[in-house]
Chains A and B, each alone.
Chain A
Amino acid sequence: DIQMTQSPSSLSASVGDRVSITCRASQNIDNCINWYQQKPGGAPNLLIYAASNLHSGVPSRFSGTGSGTDFTLTISSLQPEDFATYYCQQSYSTPITFGQGTRLEIK
């Protein structure tokens, strides 16, 4: 199975900050990675697919980069509604696997 390791596990930041979350795959996954946002009590929501493609309706302050084993989700200017938990997910092979999550908290 492909292991997806996110860092950091948690992050404190302020409104307006630029933040980045990384995800490292245990083997090459080309660009077969997606990013989700989950708020407390809710289901995950797709943000980025295929490493760098913004899902419809997602604000442009979100962006994704990377290929191979190392990937980054960046939020260019944090808004109050962005404080949530973020997950990466690989679709290079089954079983599909997720990272353990990064909790983004208000500083």
Chain B
Amino acid sequence: QAQLVESGGGLVKPGGSLRLSCAASGFTLSDYYMTWIRQTPGAGLEWISYITSSGSITDYADSVRGRFTISRDSAKNSLYLQMNSLRVDDTAVYYCARTYSSGWFPGYHHMVVWGKGTTVTVSS
């Protein structure tokens, strides 16, 4: 059964860095598009980034572009989100999700398997 487990969240000061991990089991992560989404009580669900199955294409929300980097390690069957220059408004629960994608936009891109999330708190 496909499963995702996020880790790496915690408390960090503004301007700091964190690296989130997402360990996959029951499937080969590099066979799929993978997406990071975050959720806050105020802003709801926010798409952050995705990486294609080939790993050749990544995309980011404007709110994190230039500060966050998505990557993966096929040998460890894991997805990562490197978060730098963290701000208070990055505080959220971060989810990784296995994603079906038609491979183009406009197209079909839906998150099929979700992890349980990891909490990031940015505060001084």
- B: which residues have CB within 8 A of A? 35, 44-47, 50, 59, 61-62, 95, 100, 105-112, 114-117
Q: Name the residue on B nearest A1 (C-beta).
A: B62
Contacts of B116 in A (CB 8 A): 42-43
Instruction: Classify the interface of chain B: helix, strand, loop or mixed.
Output: strand
Could you list 10 further interchain pairs (A-B, Cβ under 8 angstroms) beyond the known A44-B95, A91-B105?
Answer: A34-B111, A42-B116, A44-B111, A91-B108, A91-B110, A92-B107, A93-B105, A98-B46, A98-B47, A101-B44
Chain A, interface residues (CB within 8 Å), range? 20 to 34
Chain B residues with Cβ below 8 Å from A93 are 105-106
Cα separation A37 to B108 with both chains bound (whole Å): 18
Is A20 close to B, CB under 8 A? no
Interface positions of A from 56 to 99, Cβ below 8 Å from B: 87, 89, 91-99
A14 at the interface (CB under 8 A from B): no
Interface contact A45-B114, CB-CB below 8 Å = yes
- Taking CB atoms, residues of chain A closer than 8 Å to B111 are 34, 36, 44, 46, 89
Q: Is chain A's binding surface mostly helix, strand, loop or mixed?
A: loop
Q: Tell me whether A98 and B44 are in contact in the complex, defined as CB-CB below 8 angstroms, given that A46-B110, A49-B110 are known contacts.
A: yes
The distance in angstroms between the C-alpha atoms of A94 and B106, with both chains bound, is: 9
A19 interfacial by beta-carbon distance below 8 Å: no
- Complex: A95 Cα to B67 Cα, angstroms: 16
Alpha-carbon distance A32/B108, docked complex (angstroms):
6
Interface of A toward B, CB cutoff 8 Å: 29-30, 32, 34, 36, 42-46, 49-50, 55, 87, 89, 91-101
Complex-state Cα separation, A44 to B98, whole angstroms: 12
Residues of B within 8 A of A95 (CB): 47, 61-62
